[in-house]
Structure formats: structure tokens, C-alpha cells
Amino acid sequence: MCRRKNILLTLGLHLCAVYAHEDSLLEVDFCQYYYRNPASSEPRYPDCSDVKAKVVSNETRTLPTLELGEPGAKALFFIHGWPDNAAMWAAQFAHFCFNGSFYCVAVTLANFHPDFPDADPDKELKITQQLIEIHQTMLEAHLVDPTLVVHDWGSVIGYEMLHRYPAVARQIISFDVGSTVSSESWKLNLTYQEQNREAWQQKNDSKSVGSAIYWEAPAPLRATWRTSWPYEYNLSYRGFIQHPYPPASVPLLFLWGNMTRGEPRQANTIFFGPHWLDFVRSTPHGRVVEVDSDHWMHVKSPRFVNNAISAWLNGY
Ligand SMILES: *[C@@H]1O[C@H](CO)[C@@H](O)[C@H](O)[C@H]1NC(C)=O
Ligand SMILES: *[C@@H]1O[C@H](CO)[C@@H](O)[C@H](O)[C@H]1NC(C)=O
Ligand SMILES: *[C@@H]1O[C@H](CO)[C@@H](O)[C@H](O)[C@H]1NC(C)=O
Ligand SMILES: *[C@@H]1O[C@H](CO)[C@@H](O)[C@H](O)[C@H]1NC(C)=O
Ligand SMILES: *[C@@H]1O[C@H](CO)[C@@H](O)[C@H](O)[C@H]1NC(C)=O
Ligand SMILES: *[C@@H]1O[C@H](CO)[C@@H](O)[C@H](O)[C@H]1NC(C)=O
């Protein structure tokens, strides 16, 4: 089924397939916002245009994906958070999948893809429905020995996926967001979530975009009102009772950035506490990596992050 906004509405289903390669996330976001080419030293990274040329946009999967590599290779499956999308993982695609070592598949969640129409809050935006659709997308891609790679709100989703669908991945690599329900995160400054709720209610892009600019998101203009659906709010109303932690039996690599807005990060901007780090270290092969970068460390410090992931994956 074709769900693309512009083409579906104006030209009809038939032309959908013809223009399916024109995915804004691949054409614009991948190289313009997210691939900060980590030049010079080893390993040498390819030019973004060379990586992009090999990436496949598949908009007929249950959720739209960007994919790179041989489907038979070991899989890395990526879930983004607010206000990003599948293109955010450009530097990980370049490091792990351009050379054929892994098969990268990244989804874009409902309302985060600019080419798709607004999702129905009581259908696609229900968190339980998002989980079903992510799972379905993973099955369709026939992933081999998958590792989940998750960031921000995608981390919360990833932890829950492992409870609901234990076969979905063997291990998980998570960025910046730990347990969000434990008492240790009480002091968190969640003003941006309040701003997002207002943006959503008023359909006011400048509120959510303003928040994304403040926090130095790599693609702040993608933070349109509809990406700010109140995901961390009214969760139980939306049929989502969150587990406090991911399953303790699943190997977990946790990376977090120790800076924000160019300054050492203050406690009230950190999405976890000491208990979370203890939990991470208690999982099999559990490891915590502190990165000299911010919330978007995998975009802004890709070399350090990619090398840390490689070391962990090779350390078994
Ligand atoms: C795109 O996804 C659909 C649905 O999962 C699948 O049938 C098709 O083979 C995929 N296309 C490519 C090029 O991988
Ligand atoms: C290519 O694959 C290997 C094996 O995982 C990895 O160590 C290497 O750094 C990869 N990427 C690049 C850009 O060389
Ligand atoms: C909380 O975050 C908002 C931006 O989302 C910022 O304007 C405000 O200054 C922060 N509050 C504190 C106490 O740091
Ligand atoms: C949208 O939000 C901005 C920033 O908070 C505000 O200045 C503006 O008045 C709002 N627009 C509307 C139509 O409410
Ligand atoms: C929050 O939940 C209440 C029902 O408990 C519902 O009436 C309201 O619309 C929900 N708000 C949002 C923003 O989802
Ligand atoms: C951030 O982490 C790096 C290690 O990756 C460390 O060298 C640096 O001192 C840390 N910065 C702060 C402000 O803690």
C-alpha cells in the first residue's frame, strides 16, 4: 500500500511506485542534516553521496524504512526518537553497512516522515499499535541475528519491544535514555515535553521547532507539531503500561553524552540515574560508554560512537 502524502493525494496510486525513490529522508535529511562526514583518520568513511546511492528506501513495508547492505548479513535494526527519523543513522549506515559487514534497516515512526499524511491519534499513534507495526516491519525484513539500536523515545520503545517480542533481537544498543519510570528521573527538566504538548494541541510548528533548536537537534525543522504527539504523556490511557527496565537477560550497551548546549551536562537534563547504570552493567556483556558529546552523539561524534559499538560487538 502506498501512503505517501503528495502523490497519493494528487496523482493516484499508480504513480506512487514510479516516484517511490523520491524519499525526502534519503534525498534531503540523510546527507544534509545527519551525515557529518568524520573525515581523515581511520577508519576512512565514504562520501555521503556514495553511501546514499546504495541506500534503499522501502515505503511499502508496514513502516517506511531506509535500508543498506545484504539482507543475509547480520542485522542492525534502528529506532529513532523525537524529532528525528530513519536518516538519523547515516553515519552508522556508513560505518557498519556500506562495507557489507551488516544489514542496516531503520524505521521511521508514524508522523515523523514528512512525505506521509498525518496519522490518526487513536489508530496509528497508539503506542501499542506502533509496537505492532515495528515488529511487523522487522519480520518483513527477515533480519538475521538482529541487534536493536535505539535512541531517545526509540529507547523506551526498544526496551518494551524486548518484553513483548523476546525473539525480536539478541542484544540492544541504546543511546541516552535509560529507565524513565524510576524515581531517580524525577528531577528531569521536561519543559520540552510541555512545549511539545502545546505544539500538538495548537498545531503550532514554531513551538516544537523552537524546542528542537534550543536543544541543538541536528534537524530541528523536522520537529513539526505532528511529531510532538504526547508520547510520554497519558501512556496508560493509550494502552501502554511500561516495564521499568528492559529484560535483564539481554546484553545491553548504553552510550550517553556528557555535554548539552556546549556545557557539561547538568543532572536535570540526564535521562537516567545511577541505578540505571548499575542495571546496564548487570546485563550480560553490559557496558556503559560516556561520550564527549550531547544527546545526538551518534550524529555529532560518529567516529567515537561507531568505534565503541564495534569494540562491544567484537568483544563477545
Ligand atoms: C519492500 O518491502 C516489501 C514489504 O515488506 C517487500 O515485499 C519488498 O520486497 C521490499 N522491497 C525491496 C526492494 O526490498
Ligand atoms: C567495515 O567493517 C568492519 C567489520 O565490522 C569494521 O571494523 C570497519 O570499521 C567497517 N567500516 C569502515 C568504514 O571501514
Ligand atoms: C528547562 O528547559 C527549557 C527548554 O526546554 C529551558 O528554557 C529552561 O531554562 C530549562 N529550565 C531549567 C531550570 O534549566
Ligand atoms: C505559536 O507558538 C509561538 C511560540 O511559542 C507563539 O509565539 C505563537 O504566537 C504561536 N502561534 C499561534 C497561532 O498560537
Ligand atoms: C489524556 O487522557 C484523557 C483520558 O484519561 C483523555 O481525555 C485526553 O484526551 C488525553 N490527552 C491526550 C493529550 O492524549
Ligand atoms: C565526557 O566524557 C569523556 C570520555 O568520553 C571524558 O574524557 C570527559 O572528561 C567527559 N566530560 C565531562 C564534562 O565530564
Contact 116, 5 (CB under 8 A): yes
Grid cell listed for 52: 546514499
What does the pLDDT read at residue 174? 98
CB of 237 closer than 6 A to ligand 5?
Answer: yes
Measured in Å, residue 234 CA sits from the centre of ligand 5 at: 6
Give the whole-angstrom CA distance, residue 77 versus residue 41: 27
Tell me the whole-structure pTM to 2 decimals.
0.91
Q: How many CA atoms lie within 13 A of 251 on its CB side?
A: 13
What does the pLDDT read at residue 240? 63
Binning the chain into helix, strand and coil, the percentages to the nearest 5 are 40, 15, 45
Give the whole-angstrom CA distance, residue 254 versus residue 233: 24
What does the pLDDT read at residue 186? 56
- Specify the residue with its C-alpha closest to ligand 2, atom 13: 95
- Domains for the chain: give ranges and CATH numbers: 24-33+45-314 (3.40.50.1820)
CB of 290 closer than 6 A to ligand 6?
Answer: yes
Grid cell listed for 178: 535509560
Whose cell is 523515545? That residue is 153
- Pocket test residue of 194, 228, 231, 237 for ligand 5, highest count of atoms within 8 A of CB: 237
What does the pLDDT read at residue 40? 60
- Specify the residue with its C-alpha closest to ligand 6, atom 10: 292
CB of 45 closer than 6 A to ligand 2?
Answer: yes
Contact 160, 244 (CB under 8 A): no
What sections of the chain are H helices per DSSP? 5-10, 13-18, 24, 48-54, 90-92, 127-140, 153-164, 191-202, 205-214, 274-282, 297-300, 302-314
- Specify the residue with its C-alpha closest to ligand 3, atom 6: 191
Give, in order, the Cα–Cα distances in Å from 129 to each of 57, 258, 283, 293: 22, 34, 28, 33
In ligand 6, which atom is closest to the CA atom of 304? Answer: 5
Strand pairing partners for 77? 105, 148
* Sequential pLDDT tens for the chain (316 residues): 445 654 444 444 444 444 555 999 999 999 999 998 666 667 788 999 999 999 999 999 999 999 999 999 999 999 999 999 999 999 999 999 999 999 999 999 999 999 999 998 888 888 888 999 999 999 999 999 999 999 999 999 999 999 999 999 999 999 999 976 555 555 777 788 888 889 999 999 999 999 999 999 999 999 999 999 876 665 555 556 678 799 999 999 999 999 999 999 998 888 898 889 999 999 999 999 999 999 999 999 999 999 999 999 998 6
Measured in Å, residue 4 CA sits from the centre of ligand 2 at: 35
Instruction: Tell me 116's DSSP state.
Output: S
In ligand 1, which atom is closest to the CA atom of 56? Answer: 13
